[in-house]
A and B are shown apart, each in its own frame.
Chain A
Amino acid sequence: MYGGDEVSAIVIDLGSHTCKAGYAGEDAPKAVFPSVVGSIDQMDVDDSGNAERNSGSGVDSKNNVDSNKGKGKRKLYVGTQSLGYRRDHMEVLSPFKDGIVADWDIVDSIWDHALRECLLVDPKEHPMLLAEPSSNTQQQRERAAELMFEKYKVPALFLAKNAVLTSFALGRATSLVVDCGGGSTTVAPVHDGYVLQKAVVTSPIGGEFLTNCLMKSLESKGITIRPRYSFKRKENRPGEFQIVDLDFPNTTESYKLFSQRVIVSDIKECVSRAPDTPYDESAYSNIPMTPYELPDGQTIEIGADRFKIPDVLFNPSLVQTIPGMENYVDIASSCRGLPQMVIESINRCDVDIRRELFSSILLAGGTASMQQLKERLEKDLLEESPQAARVKVVASGNATERRFSVWIGGSILASLGSFQQMWFSKSEYEEHGASYIQRKCP
């Protein structure tokens, strides 16, 4: 039993797109930053330094500013600010592959950034609650426990499943959680606080996939998205701007893409809206255009894509009709739409709880903030579910709560006085080893 009532716990939800970290008991995470990192191979840095000196360009003399994150062969840059700054040869890497952690060095650097630079805490003093994907493997959990206890020397740890935290935060111990995240969409049934692993259904179609679709679609219309670093905007006269292109030949393709996606994802969040009925090319051809001003000052107009892109969630095969998305057609054709995923997941559960799951479908995650998504999902499910089922889709009315439901759930759980006895403490770790995590936090 860990009796540290006085110090507040730290809650970290490392999602596929954003990392959320903050103090337990608060109602929103203090730090929210991308879960990707910039990486420069140390060899490359030296080379680029020479190249710049030779050519005498010196545009980026700050390029070699040292970050204290030297990790042997490569240097990692974490956080919104460090990623916002363009560096020669900096690749953008994600720690995840297919939804699970593939590169623990990157995870380590993200945790370190969250704790020491964003929250400014000493991890030795705070119990740590980590949210984990519902289908996390045993090895992953032990690895996380090991890293937390050995490297960060946390006094106590708890791992809670995303779906369970969302379900609890919306007041239900039994529910079907539809988590539309950045990197994927997960449908997970929760029964009495346990995730029913066999019935979890996932698809790689999440917010980032939609961003890709929108980007390709815009490109096919001849619109170029200039990344923020690639131009300077000069004010010649008040209200009159001139755009000067800057050229950085050493910028990596992945960084360029990362910067473009930041812009496109904002366009997506501003204009898109799930259509009330399945998307139909002819019906939407006359839809009024919505203007959006890009950072370089050009104004673009978005028409049918406002509805078509979100509809990919419901009908992945739409991807075929988006120019430039040919590489993704295979992925998309192996996926089902959101309503079908819900039905499949429920059908994999015991007959006795199906009725209850149908009546408490919880919508959460970053992409769930899409306008009309909840209404559309409810409508499609009403059509496809068995007659006797009472379908009810619930989403928090508050956009922050919808986006951060996992984190908020963790925050409240970790702050409950009675929860103190549930932690996996350092002494238990020392006595039983990392595998004990399976007993403490199943």
Chain B
Amino acid sequence: MANSSSGMAVNDDCKLKFMELKAKRSYRFIVFKIEEKIQQVTVEKLGEPNESYEHFTDSLPANECRYAVYDFDFTTEENVQKSKIFFIAWAPDTSRIRSKMLYASSKDRFRRELDGVQVELQATDPSEMSMDIIKSRVF
């Protein structure tokens, strides 16, 4: 720990659900939310394996911050099926400054709890996490 982080705790459920996404592939995506009252990061929403990327982006509120992981399937040039797990810190410009501060200062610690994330993104508007960007970060 020990940088200017907020000291926010992580609910065990977050790690559990993330492990299920990673190992069993039971979910396509997970959206996490900070509950300030209990000072924990909690799971807000789980996406079924067959849900689309649009489904995922629609699950992120337009003016509130969230964390999310997305399991992205793709095919390489050699025609091999692969997948990569993306971590996205969603902080829209229109969100309240308090919420930006809360999510940014808690990110590092939370991210460390999720072992197996391959790509990390910060997004402040939908264009920063468009499908093109996701694809460009895969290789």
Contact = CB atoms under 8 A, between A and B. Distances in A.
Given A360-B122, A418-B8, A192 B101 contact: no
A408 B97 contact: yes
Contacts, number: 105
Given A172-B104, A172-B122, A164 B4 contact: yes
A418 B65 contact: no
Interface string A144-174: 0000000000000010110011011111111
Contact of B4 (A161, A170, A392): A161
Nearest to B90: A171
Given A174-B122, A356-B122, A169 B5 contact: no
Interface stretch (A196-204, A333-341, A368-376, A434-442): A434-442
Contacts of A418: 6-9, 39, 106
B89 A439 contact: no
Contacts of B65: 171
A168 B104 contact: yes
A331 interface: no
Central interface residue in A394, A401, A419, by most chain B CB within 10 Å: A419
Central interface residue in A158, A165, A418, A441, by most chain B CB within 10 Å: A418
B122 A192 contact: no
A442 B107 contact: no
B95 A171 contact: yes
A165 B91 CA distance: 15
Q: How many of chain A's residues touch chain B, expressed as a range?
A: 35 or more
Central interface residue in B7, B105, B107, by most chain A CB within 10 Å: B105
Given A171-B91, A172-B91, A394-B124, A409 B6 contact: no
A109 B103 CA distance: 36
Interface in A350-409: 356, 359-360, 392, 394, 396-397, 401, 408-409
B100 interface: yes
27 contacts: A161-B4, A168-B105, A169-B97, A171-B100, A171-B101, A171-B103, A172-B91, A172-B104, A175-B122, A193-B5, A194-B3, A356-B122, A394-B93, A401-B97, A412-B97, A412-B102, A413-B4, A413-B6, A416-B6, A416-B101, A416-B102, A417-B36, A418-B8, A422-B1, A422-B7, A441-B4, A442-B3
Interface of A: 27, 158, 160-161, 164-165, 167-175, 192-194, 356, 359-360, 392, 394, 396-397, 401, 408-409, 412-413, 416-422, 439-442
Given A172-B89, A192-B108, A420-B7, 13 more contacts: A169-B100, A172-B104, A193-B4, A360-B122, A397-B93, A412-B97, A412-B102, A416-B7, A416-B102, A418-B9, A419-B7, A422-B6, A439-B2
Interface of B: 1-9, 36, 39, 65, 89, 91, 93, 95, 97-98, 100-108, 111, 122, 124, 128
